Structure formats: C-alpha cells, structure tokens
Amino acid sequence: MDADGLVHELHEGLLETALLDAHTHLVGGKLGARGLHDILLYHMAISELYAAGCPSGARLTQYPGWPSTEEAHARLREAIPYLPVVRNTAISWGVRIALGDLYGWDEPVTADNWERLDALVRERADDRTWQREVMRRAGIERFCTELARRGDGADDDILAYSLEWAFFTRTQWGEYDTALYELERCWGKTPDSPMPIGSGARPPTERTIRSVDDVHQAVEHYVQAMPVDRILSMATHISTDIDFAPVSESRMAAALERRPHAGVAERDVYASYVNETFLAWLEQVHGDRVLFQFSFGAEPLPFETGSRLTQRSIGQLAEMVARHPGLRFQCFLASRHANQALCTLCRELPNLSLAGYWWHNFFPSAIRQVMEERLDMLPLNRQVGFFSDAYCVEWAYAKAALVRRMLAQVLAQKVAQGQYTQDQALAIARAILYDCPRETLRM
C-alpha cells in the first residue's frame, strides 16, 4: 500500500474512534454558534485578522454577556475585507471545515453573501437537536467545560465540569499584585467565572488581604468552597514570567507591606506564596479527587498572548509537581519547543500528564510534532490526545477533524517504519483520544 493509501485507511479508522473533549468553554443549553461571528471571529481567527490589518484585535463581548447583533455585524463587516489574506492559515482551514461540513457552504465569505450565511447559523443557534447532531458528526461523546457555564443543567448528560475561578499564577499586563487580587475576589464568595481575558478592569473587592493570616484564611475558604462533587478538574495558568520558589512567612509579610508600590519582585513573592499555600491545602483536603489542570507557555500581550516559556520555568514546574505527590497535575502546553522537555518531566513525575495542543500549538505542523514526540516518549495513560478549547460545537467539530487528519499522518509514518501495525495504531489512537481522558479526568 502506498503512503497516501495508508493515511487514508488510518483516517477512516479514526473517524470511527470516539473522542472525549477534555477542555472547552461551551455554555450549557447554548452549545452552538450564536451567529457567523462565533465561527469566523473565534479569538484565534481574530488574531490573524488583526495581524493582516483589521483594526480590531479584541475579543467580542465575553460570557456571561453575548455580543449584540449590532456588535457582531459591525465586527464581521470590519473583518471580511481581510479574509483573502488569511485564507492560507490553519485556522481559516478550520473555518472552511465547519462551514462546509456543517452548513454546506463552499464559497468564499464576502461582503455580498455574509448576511445570508449569518442567517443560516442564527437559524440553528437555539436548535439543541442540531447541536447534538454536530456532536455526533464530530464523534465526541462528552465535553468538559467551565462549571460557571453550566446554565440550568440542560446538557448535564454530555457535559462534565471544571472549576475556573481564580488564576493565582497568571500575570496581567502592567499588574504586580494579581495573585492577591484574584484571591480577594474569591474570599467569602462562591465559585463563579474567572476574570475575562483582556478585560483591562479590576472591579473592587469586598475584602482586602493585608496579612499572611489573611492569605491563609482566604485560601482555606477557596479550597473548602470548591464544589468537588460537581467538578472533575480545576483549570488555571502558570506564568513563565513568575520566578517560583518557596517563600517564608516573614518574606511574604514584608512583601505585603510593599503592595502599594509592588513590582516584579513582589509579584513573584505573592504568586509563589499563594500558590504553594493553595496546593498544600488542596492536597490535604481533596487529595487526588480533583485534577489540577494548568496552561503553560502563553503570556499576555495587549489583546491575547504570545508563546513564551523559559527553561527556568520548566525546572520550577518540576519542583512544584514533585513537592505535591498527592495531587494529579495536567499541562496544556502552548510552547512547541518545550514539548520534549515536558515529556521528560512526565517520565520522572508519575503525577504529571500532558493534554492536547493548546492555543499556539494548534497548528498542523506543531500538532504532528507534539503527537510524534509524546507517542515515542510517554505511556498511553499519560497523554490526552484531544481537547478543543472551543466556545461552540462547530469549532469542536472543526478541531476534531483537524486532529484526526494529523494523527492519521503521524500513525501512518510509524506503521510504514514498522513501529506499529495498523491495528495497533488504531488501538493506540483510541487510548489517547478516549481511554486516557476517561481515566485521568474520570469522565
């Protein structure tokens, strides 16, 4: 069999392989695109259009709000002239897959026809039967999404939940006390949504952290308030800009006194102390009941992020995971060059696993590299082969289609070189696409 025939046969087999989507931002009861903007102006697509010269680089109104028809249409009109110069990208390929396979649309989107296409998408926005049909066509059996996006529970039969509440170890553009502010937002509260990306605002909090005792009380409240009976995981971000190290109480107390004039040094102290306090509490109270998922390798720019990750951060991550053997950690990696290093950590840290291809890694050449390295280096139960990070089922469909295509190519190469048989290749695919997320997330 020639190489193309082998790829085709494996791809056909992968179409019969069920997926579990380990991380999304789907909204219960409203799984589908609300209009063309949800497909064409997905945040990764906005970045490309902005790079091409489109005036707007910010996301549209974010959940719990929704873009008005006026906002969505204004942004579509603004973006459409730039579509021809991004037609080469992988994200544009994903747009074409979603529109072609799901809406039968096979022509370029232009100023003359976009309103007709938008009407097609809006017609199905609240059709829950259609949303389930998209899921069936994608071959996805279950999604994990944010608990705050559960809605009234209308889709509990297909949604599992993750807690995204506060990001103690994420940096924000021009901020140095983010860890404290994020903790203050949660102190005495019940879980809700995290601060929107690029919001640029800090609403006042009801409580203020002024002492080390305050930190411990706020962290204890956070851990005790975690609804562990309703979540499989929590999700956060670990910034490469932060210098993580164990911090004494006296050093933390001194840094708190300097909060009005905090800089990089204080930021690192706050984040390190809060994070270690939190992980210690989480390990003690909830043990391995909740998977600690974190993104790694994407840092803030004015609208979105860029891919950056230092070797220092990789070493500090290893120390962090090793200090808490009673917790299970899972990494969403956005740094292509760091994948091999993270694989070596997983080989020596039994409580660390890797998942999918996050943000700046979700491009065909990067996906293939990540797949090949992980298949060569890691056990099958330490790598989750897919998550979409999608905000609507149309993008979950498109990303599932792209991942299956890339995996077919990687597996075909390994079959051709004698590493796997075809049957073994498909069994391995099921292990990383279905069995591993079922076991590690307990989906």
- pLDDT(36) > 90: yes
pLDDT of 174: 82
pLDDT tens digit sequence for 297-336: 999 888 999 999 999 999 999 999 999 999 999 999 999 9
- Closest of 154, 197, 206 to residue 173, by C-alpha: 197
Name 333's bridge partners.
Answer: 296
- How far from chain centre, in Å, is Cα 90? 18
pLDDT bucket at 172, cuts 50 / 70 / 90: confident
pLDDT of 179: 97
pLDDT bucket at 4, cuts 50 / 70 / 90: confident
On average, the pLDDT of the chain sits at 96
pLDDT bucket at 195, cuts 50 / 70 / 90: low
- pLDDT(198) > 80: no
pLDDT of 196: 61
pLDDT tens digit sequence for 176-192: 999 999 999 999 999 87
pLDDT of 288: 86
The amino acid that residue 91 corresponds to is I
Backbone angles phi, psi at 175, to 5 degrees: -110, 150
pLDDT of 203: 87
Does the CA dihedral 346-399-93-138 come out positive or negative?
A: positive
- Closest of 246, 233, 238 to residue 319, by C-alpha: 246
Question: With 0-12 CB in 10 A as exposed, 13-18 as middle and 19+ as buried, what is 120?
Answer: middle
pLDDT bucket at 283, cuts 50 / 70 / 90: very high
Average pLDDT over residues 274-297: 96
pLDDT tens digit sequence for 373-398: 999 999 999 999 999 999 999 999 99
pLDDT bucket at 1, cuts 50 / 70 / 90: confident
pLDDT bucket at 78, cuts 50 / 70 / 90: very high
Percent of the chain with pLDDT over 90: 92
pLDDT bucket at 197, cuts 50 / 70 / 90: low
pLDDT of 199: 55
Cβ-based neighbours of 371, under 8 Å, separated by 6 or more: 385, 406, 407, 410
Backbone angles phi, psi at 332, to 5 degrees: -100, 110
pLDDT of 308: 95
pLDDT tens digit sequence for 230-276: 999 999 999 999 999 999 999 999 999 999 999 999 999 999 999 99
Length of the chain: 443
pLDDT tens digit sequence for 202-240: 889 999 999 999 999 999 999 999 999 999 999 999 999
- Per the model's pLDDT, the better-predicted residue between 313 and 172 turns out to be 313
Contact in structure between 288 and 440 (CB atoms under 8 Å): no
SS3 track for the chain: CCHHHHHHHHHHHHHCCCEEECCCCCECCECCCCCHHHHHCCHHHHHHHHHHCCCCCCCCCCCCCCCCHHHHHHHHHHHHHHHHHHCCCHHHHHHHHHHHHHHCCCCCCCCCCHHHHHHHHHHCCCCHHHHHHHHHHHCEEEEEEEHHHCCCCCCCCCEEEEECCCCCCCCCCCCCCHHHHHHHHHCCCCCCCCCCCCCCCCCCCCCCCCCHHHHHHHHHHHHHHCCCCCCCEEEEEECCCCCCCCCCHHHHHHHHHCHHHCCHHHHHHHHHHHHHHHHHHHHHHHCCCCEEEEEECEEECCCCEEECCCHHHHHHHHHHHHHCCCCEEEEEECCHHHHHHHHHHHHHCCCEEEECCCHHHCCHHHHHHHHHHHHHHCCHHHEECCCCCCCCHHHHHHHHHHHHHHHHHHHHHHHHCCCCCHHHHHHHHHHHHHHHHHHHCCC
- pLDDT(42) > 70: yes
Euclidean distance between CA atoms 359 and 328, whole angstroms: 22
pLDDT bucket at 48, cuts 50 / 70 / 90: very high
- pLDDT(200) > 70: no
